[in-house]
Every structure is written in C-alpha cells, then in structure tokens.
Amino acid sequence: MTQKIIDIHPHIISPDTVRYPYNPLGGIRSDWSAERPFTFEQYIDEMEVAGVAKAAMVHSSTTYGYDNAYVADSVCRDPARFVGVYSVDIAAPDAVATIEHWRSRGMAGLRLFGAGSTLQTDGRWMIAPKTFPVWEHMAAINMTVAIQTTSVGLPVVEEILERFPEVNTLLDHLGRPDLSDGAPYTKAAPLWKLARFENLYLKVTPRTFDLAEKAPATPDSFFPKLVAEYGADRLAWGSNFPANNGSLKDLVDQGHRCFAALRETDRAAIWSGTAEKLYPQLVDATRTEALSA
C-alpha cells in the first residue's frame, strides 16, 4: 500500500531579492537559507522523487520576517496541492486585518517564531494582552497556530493552551525535547506534561528523528511512547527541508525508518491524516464530497 504523504514543514527561498527582499526576524538570517536555498519549483521536483503529495509551505521568518509574499505567490499557483503557513506580527493593532489579507492569498495557518537557531526568547510576547484579539480570531476561524520554540518557551506554550483551549496549537519539532537519557525518556518530562492539552499537536521533523537515532535513544522506544502519550492523531510529519541536510527523499526515508515500530494506522495519521485535520484545505476534493454526502 502506497503511503499518502503530506509535508507540513518545507521552506522555500526566492533568488529574486528585489521582488522578495531579505528582512529576517531579529536581523539575523538563518544559515540554511543562505547555504541551501530551494525555490518553489525545485521543491516540487523534490516532491515528485520523494512521493510527497501535498504540502503546507512554511514561510521563512528567518529570511523574510513578516513579508509572506514569496510563499503566497507560490502556493496560489496550485491551491489544490499547497497552502501556506505565514508569520504575522500578532501584537500589531491591525494584526487581525493582516491575517485576513493573507488568508485571501493562501494562508491556512499562522506561525509564531519564539526561539530557534537565530533568535532566543521565552516567547512571552505571544501571550501579551494586545495579542488576545488574534488568538480569539484564530479560534473563530479555526486556524491552526504553529509555534517554533525550545524548552525555554514551553511555559508560555502551556499558558497559551490553558487560556485558548479552542485554538489548535502545533509545536514545531516537539519543542526540541531532551532524549539523551534514552527510554523511558525522563528528561523529556516537559513534553509529556503538555500531553494533557487536547488542543496541542506536535510536528515530528528530522530534528526529532536525529534525536531519536542518537544512542541511548532509539526510534523503536521513543515513537511508540510518543504515540502512547499523545495519540497518532495529534502528530504530523514535516520535512524541515531544506533546513535539514539531505534530499527530501532522504528525509522521507528517515521517517519510514523511524516509524517502523508503529502500527500502519498510526503511520497513516502521522504522514497525512493529522495534516488534513490541521489544514483541511489539503483534503482531496473527492474525499470532501464523500464526507459531506
């Protein structure tokens, strides 16, 4: 049986810096975007080889800041196959109007960049009172909010989950848990603690695979525990391509290797089923018609 695969974490970079100028958040451009820039067209070529059917393209905040134009221009070329996950300054007075503007241009999800390779904050700005209209709007329009952070920002993520339980919140890279002690992964306690929030979803990426493949951790001990704690229907795969080294097919192959101990139904959820819940625009039209019949 051929596995349907939806990628919810690829990035694209344009060579046209006049039309799409660089303006990274925090003023520091990510290394990968300079060293391994891939255009939308090149990503499509990678998809064909890797067997990826659809994608939620994630705007590169560490390249373009809050200007989502390149991703928007790209995904609008084939809206049956692609949607965009955009970045917006949610503290701005016109943030809701800005979201609605980008929504008309392929925006299916919002991404907040709290901490990563080029920027380190605890993300407290995400929960400031002036951002509440955005969170309330996300609940009203049922739009998923992805959060990029490390362990330093997990207390803020917990506050968000408590205050806005109607917002589907997606944690990039599982929040980069510590798996260095191996099973039963006691050092990953902050991740297990958040499992009680039913509105929290986790994005499984090659960063997670790399951690799980580094002894004493093993994929066969970690991923069954992850499924047991969260359920496969709250886990979704994203390639992090090209920020991670290797071709898109290499990253898909790594996922197949790491998910080998999981049941077929769990693998299907992680590869595509949960992605369709988070980004329903990616559900096949024929399936949508069948579900509504």
Of 52, 25, 30, 18, the residue nearest 242 (C-alpha): 30
Identify residue 240 by its one-letter amino acid code: N
Q: What is the DSSP string of 233-258?
A: GGEEE---TTTSSS-HHHHHHHHHHH
Bridge partner residues of 146 (DSSP): 111, 170
How high is the pLDDT of residue 287? 53
Burial of 61 (0-12, 13-18, 19+ CB in 10 A): buried
Which domains are assigned to the chain?
6-292 (3.20.20.140)
pLDDT for residue 123: 84
* Residue whose token pair is 């990953």: 188
Contacts 24+ apart (CB under 8 A), 157-162: 157/123, 157/194, 157/200, 158/193, 158/194, 158/197, 159/127, 160/126, 160/127, 160/135, 161/194, 161/197, 161/199, 161/200, 162/197
Residue 12, Cβ neighbours under 10 Å: how many? 25
Joined together, the tokens standing for residue 14 give: 């344009």
Q: Where are the alpha helices (DSSP H) in the chain?
A: 31-35, 40-50, 61-64, 69-75, 95-103, 132-141, 154-163, 189-193, 206-212, 219-230, 248-258, 264-268, 274-278, 285-292
| Each residue's pLDDT expressed in tens, for the chain with a length of 293 residues | 578 999 999 999 999 999 999 999 888 888 898 899 999 999 999 999 999 999 999 999 999 999 999 999 999 999 999 999 999 999 999 999 999 999 999 999 999 987 665 566 778 999 999 999 999 999 999 999 999 998 889 999 999 999 999 999 999 999 999 999 999 999 999 999 999 999 999 999 999 999 999 999 999 999 999 999 999 999 999 999 999 999 999 999 999 999 999 999 999 999 999 999 999 999 986 554 444 44
How far is it, in rounded angstroms, from Cα 276 to Cα 279? 5
Cα of first residue to Cα of last residue in the chain, in angstroms, is 26
Distance, CA of 45 to CA of 9 (rounded, Å): 16
Instruction: Compute φ and ψ for 167, nearest 5 degrees.
Output: -95, 125
CA 85 to chain centre: 8
Q: Write out the two tokens for 256.
A: 């197949």
In the chain, what is the greatest distance between 2 CA atoms, to the nearest angstrom? Answer: 51
Nearest to 173 by CA among 107, 128, 216, 113: 113
Task: Kindly give the pairing relationship between strand 107-113 and strand 200-204.
Answer: unpaired
Q: How far apart are CA 83 and CA 8, in angstroms?
A: 9
The tally of CA atoms less than 13 A away on the side-chain side of residue 281 is 25
